[in-house]
Amino acid sequence: MSDSKLTLYSYPTANGVAASILLEELGIPYEAVKMSISDADIGKVHNQVKSPWYLELNPNGKIPTISHNGFNVFETSAILLYLTAEFDKENKFNFHPIQNPKEYSEVLQWVFFSHGGLGPMQGQGAHFLHASEKIPYAINRFTTEARRVYSILEDRLSKHEWIAGGKYTIADIKAFGWIRRHGLVEIDLEKEFPKLKAWHDKIDARPAVQKGVKIPA
């Protein structure tokens, strides 16, 4: 590990906590900057995700972002992969791409699955469920898709203790950020997805996770 300055720009949402949980699990020093993600703050608040200074770090204008010795990384999963490559030399939360290519691929597959499926479907489901204008087609489309994605994870966890590679990895951390917010799409985890609930509770009990979900304070 180099002498490094690491800053996390975030907010404790489903995406934000994936980055802070991993940082806490890695136990590396970092500074957390709380961003405003509210449309009402655009143009008014300095730490706003659409501020010109922030768009220099993250052209997509969303959280999370990390800045490591002046190198910026945006997109949650790219952050998880960067942090494990840079700071997890013992491969506690990922696998070495050359030494364990199959396990590494498995982690990538499930990280991408959550990044491209779980997050967007649940995010849109929550958006349309809680929007002032109720569009039944959109609500049904995205909440049904979110449930379908949950059922794939439920099936996976009925055959494996962890999502990928036989151990707790960034594939679990990435999915956990979203699964812990199942209430946003009115999913009853205990009743509908008992294996996911047991997996969720195991991760939730980890001290680093307890800390990570509250960052930035």
Ligand X SMILES: N[C@@H](CCC(=O)N[C@@H](CS)C(=O)NCC(=O)O)C(=O)O
| Interaction site with ligand X (CB under 6 A) | 13-15, 37, 49, 61-63, 75-76
Min dist CB 76 to ligand X, Å, is 3
Q: Which is nearer to ligand X, 147 or 174 (CB)?
A: 174
Min dist CB 127 to ligand X, Å, is 10
Q: Which is nearer to ligand X, 4 or 38 (CB)?
A: 38
Counting beta carbons within 10 angstroms of the beta carbon of residue 80, is it exposed (0 to 12), middle (13 to 18) or buried (19 or more)?
buried
Output the residue with the shortest Cβ distance to ligand X. 62
Taking only Cα atoms into account, the Rg of the chain, rounded to an integer number of angstroms, comes to 17
Q: Which is nearer to ligand X, 62 or 182 (CB)?
A: 62
Min dist CB 75 to ligand X, Å, is 5
Dihedral sign for Cα atoms in the order 23, 27, 168, 185: negative
| Helix, strand, or coil (residue 111) | helix
Question: Whose structure tokens read 């490094």?
Answer: 4
**From CA 118, how far away is CA 173, in angstroms rounded?**
13
**From CA 42, how far away is CA 46, in angstroms rounded?**
9
Min dist CB 58 to ligand X, Å, is 8
Q: Which is nearer to ligand X, 61 or 165 (CB)?
A: 61
